[in-house]
Amino acid sequence: MTARANHNDTNVSSLASKTVGKRGTRLSELDIALTGNIPSIEEQWRKLESREWNSLNQGLDWCRAWTSAHRSELLAITGSAGSRILFLLPLEIVNDRFGRVARLPGGRFNNLNTGLLDGDLAAPDATELHAFKDKLAQCLRGVADLLVIDEVPLAWKGMAHPLSGMASIENQNHSFQLPLLDTMAATLAQVNAKTRRKKYRVQVRRLEAIGGFDHVVADTRQEQHALLDRFFAQKGERLKTSGLPDVFASTPTRDFLHRLLDAPQRDLDKPLCMHAIRLKGDHDGHIAAVTGLSRKGGHVLCQFGSIDDSIGADASPGELLFWLAIERSIAEGATLFDFGIGDQPYKRSWCSQETVQHDMLVPIGVKGSALAGLHLAETGIKTAIKRNHRLYAMVQRWRSRHDGQD
């Protein structure tokens, strides 16, 4: 990779003047409450989720799809000034081996979490943050033993997160993004433009030689669900061949993603949309590559991808599909293409921006403190393993043999 990665959280202090809600209502002025009556706050939830800075993973449709698929209750902690909600944290309660954990709906399928914050919320000082954590714990007393807000960027889109002072530990996963400029040429100039263009020409030429291809953007319900099922089959087979666990194998996970496809589209915003490369000619109808993209405002997020290399493998159809999806995103006015969490060579080859994320832990009582200690230790071990590629491969193979799940 020719461009140097930009670690988004390395200069949080220098972003103090660009913190979300630099002025306005203070955390100490908010009334903090826990509610399961989601319809009563839906209008304000929708208003908060529409704010460009807030993560799509805390959108109401995303959270409802997850909790419905997993048959869990959707809860929310709200911070209100009068009748106006300025802070909203979606939650589900999960029974851990050692206690009850309140966490963001979506689990491992969330790529970036911000919570939902109003722009009028002021940046807090250390005393306010401490008091705020106490209020969060009080809300969840008797409901959960530990609150985990994971995969939070301390800085995002040029602004410091107002709760960055609550960070407990760096998450073992980073995420990778490519800013989208006015044209494909300008966008590629941020990375390895010459190599990318050469690869693209070779990929197109090789697929044209075997009959050509179409870039499919599914626009019917039937086609969306068919491509998602094709992804499950492709990914499952590839992971099995590699001796790796299939994290998409469980029924609730598949149900969740199917539900996202059925969630309403709002303008260009989509909880999930399926793209594919479909071959023509003698191989007419063969799906060579599939990816699922989400969009909120200018942010396009790649949720997953798979390939079938039984035909046209030398054309690298997965790489070609990313080119086409990025090109289309630029044409539709998007400003950021996000490859999500997980450090992979192909992500580094596409991206000029690397975002470091952190976990925030709020223990509730003695049991919660013990659970927090276990979480910190587990995250530290995962980080060490993932930084040792050989050890990580061994662990993945062991997991695949023993349970096939994360």
Q: What are residue 7's DSSP bridge partners? A: 354
Residue 400's pLDDT is: 45
- Cβ(9)–Cβ(153) below 8 Å: yes
- Cβ(237)–Cβ(391) below 8 Å: no
Backbone CA torsion sign across 30, 31, 36, 39: negative
- Cβ(358)–Cβ(171) below 8 Å: yes
- Cβ(32)–Cβ(79) below 8 Å: yes
Q: Assess if residue 221 is contained within a domain.
A: yes
DSSP-based three-state secondary structure for 28: helix
Residue 388's pLDDT is: 60
Residue 123's pLDDT is: 84
136 shares a domain with 112: yes
Residue 381's pLDDT is: 84
Helix%, strand%, coil% for the chain, nearest 5: 45, 30, 30
CA–CA dist 180, 362 (Å, integer): 36
135 shares a domain with 57: yes
73 shares a domain with 160: yes
Q: How many domains does the chain have?
A: 2
Q: Assess if residue 250 is contained within a domain.
A: no
271 shares a domain with 163: no
User: Helices (H) and strands (E) in the chain — how many of each?
Assistant: 11, 16
Q: Assess if residue 282 is contained within a domain.
A: yes
317 shares a domain with 279: yes
Other C-beta atoms closer than 10 Å to the C-beta of 374 total 15
Q: Assess if residue 1 is contained within a domain.
A: no
142 shares a domain with 51: yes
Token pair belonging to 129: 């943050």
CA–CA dist 33, 80 (Å, integer): 8
Residue 16's pLDDT is: 46
Q: How far is CA 228 from the centre of its chain?
A: 18
Q: Which residues form the domain of 316? A: 182-232+265-334
> Rounded to the nearest 5 degrees, what angle is found at the Cα of 124, between the Cα atoms of 123 and 129?
145
143 shares a domain with 18: yes
pTM over 0.85: yes
Residue 387's pLDDT is: 66
Residue 128's pLDDT is: 93
Residue 393's pLDDT is: 59
Residues 22-41 as b/e (b if ≥16 CB within 10 A, e otherwise) read eeebbbeebebebeeebeeb
Residue 9's pLDDT is: 47
137 shares a domain with 285: no
19 shares a domain with 37: yes
The residue ranges of the chain whose pLDDT is under 50 are 1-6, 9-10, 12-17, 399-400, 402-406
Q: Assess if residue 310 is contained within a domain.
A: yes
